[in-house]
């Protein structure tokens, strides 16, 4: 049995090798034919490989923990296109290699929506990367050689789905705008991009002041894009106010 298990490992059948004793006992108990045994072995290996592949994609996505859409309060935003959001969660924009831009003030759930879209893409078998705009630009700007920069640009340019969160909270120099433009250009009409921002496109020059590529960046980004705008007050602020303990009344003199 040990020699057989080693041979199975060499063939890449690691799950079968690890559970060989149980498999033989089950086949004996149920009196499987050779065909039934092979069918069961193939099915188990496929399921295990699918599970490991999902784990790897989740790990590499850098998605981390997030709140599922079941907890999203659709009634809270004053304006939200629920049908468009649900279509995005079904990854319809990816089927057409379109981009998706979520525009909303802070605290309305655009990051939560983006995280759930990323998770659905991972479940669908896509290679996903979830990161903030600040992290991406810090990574690209920190490359010390042209070869290193080209390698990182290819990395961001070829992921099945790239999700860039929180563009607009910080301002960047012209070089950062050029780097982001290169990422968007490498993905243009090839790979989908999801981006969240708290600013309307007319305010983007404040993100990249004195950057000549800012207008070209916007044009390339929204040419094939679904734009979903949310309006309303911060949900997190409301939640904080509801959980805040009322102050004790001052005693009268």
The pLDDT value recorded for residue 161 is: 98
21 and 135 housed in the same domain = no
Report the chain's mean pLDDT, rounded to a whole number.
Answer: 91
How many structural domains does the chain have? Answer: 2
Same domain, 152 and 168: yes
The yes-or-no verdict on residue 132 having pLDDT over 90 is: yes
Both 50 and 76 in a single domain?
A: no
Mean pLDDT of the region 197-207? 89
Same domain, 22 and 43: yes
Q: Is residue 244 part of a domain?
A: no
User: Which of 61, 91, 112 is where one domain is finished?
Assistant: 61
Q: Which of 9-13, 17-21, 104-108, 244-248 shows the lowest per-residue confidence on average (mean pLDDT)?
A: 244-248
124 shares its domain with 225:
yes
Q: How many percent of the chain have pLDDT more than 70?
A: 92
User: How far apart are the C-alpha atoms of 87 and 90, rounded to whole Å?
Assistant: 5
Whether the predicted pLDDT of 235 surpasses 60: yes
Could you tell me if 211 and 86 lie in one domain? yes
170-200 pLDDT, tens per residue? 889 889 999 999 999 999 999 999 999 999 9
Give yes or no: residues 114 and 28 share one domain: no
Mean pLDDT of 79-92: 97
pLDDT at 123 over 90: yes
Handedness of CA 70, 93, 105, 119 (dihedral sign): positive
pLDDT digits (tens, 9 = 90+) for 136-153: 999 999 999 999 999 999
pTM of the model: 0.86
Residue 237: predicted pLDDT: 66
Task: Judge if 47 and 146 occupy the same domain.
Answer: no
The per-residue DSSP string of 177-228 comes to HHHHHHHHHHHTTTSEEEEEESS-GGGGGGTSTT-TTHHHHHHHHHTTEEEE
Same-domain status, 27 and 83: no
Helix (H) or strand (E) holding 101: strand 99-103
Residues 55 and 73 in one domain: no
Judge if 73 and 137 occupy the same domain.
yes
Confidence label for 57 from pLDDT (cuts 50, 70 and 90): very high
Looking at the structure, tell me whether residues 97 and 134 fall in a common domain.
yes
The answer to whether position 250 is within a domain reads no
pLDDT band at 215 (very low <50, low <70, confident <90, very high): confident
């Amino acid at each position: 049995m040990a020699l057989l298990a080693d041979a199975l490992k060499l063939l890449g059948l690691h799950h079968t090798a690890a559970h060989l004793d149980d498999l033989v006992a089950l086949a004996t108990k149920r009196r499987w034919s050779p065909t039934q045994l092979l069918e069961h072995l193939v099915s188990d290996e496929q399921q295990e490989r699918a599970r490991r592949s999902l784990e790897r994609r989740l790990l590499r996505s850098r998605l981390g923990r997030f709140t599922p859409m079941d907890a999203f309060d659709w009634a809270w935003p004053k304006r939200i296109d629920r049908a468009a959001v649900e279509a995005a969660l079904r990854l319809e924009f990816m089927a057409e290699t379109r981009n998706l831009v979520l525009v909303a003030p802070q605290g309305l759930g655009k990051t939560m929506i983006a995280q759930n879209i990323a998770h659905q893409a991972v479940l669908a078998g896509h290679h996903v990367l979830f990161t903030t705009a600040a992290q991406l630009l810090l990574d690209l700007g920190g490359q010390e050689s042209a070869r290193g920069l080209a390698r990182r640009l290819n990395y961001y340019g070829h992921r099945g789905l790239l999700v860039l969160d929180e563009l607009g909270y910080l301002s960047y120099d012209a070089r950062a705008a050029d780097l982001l433009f290169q990422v968007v250009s490498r993905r243009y009409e090839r790979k989908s991009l999801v981006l969240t921002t708290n600013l309307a496109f007319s305010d983007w020059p404040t993100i990249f002041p004195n950057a000549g590529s800012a207008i070209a960046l916007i044009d390339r980004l929204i040419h094939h894009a679904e734009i979903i705008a949310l309006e309303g007050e911060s949900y997190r602020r409301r939640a904080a106010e509801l959980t805040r303990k009322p102050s004790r009344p001052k005693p009268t003199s």
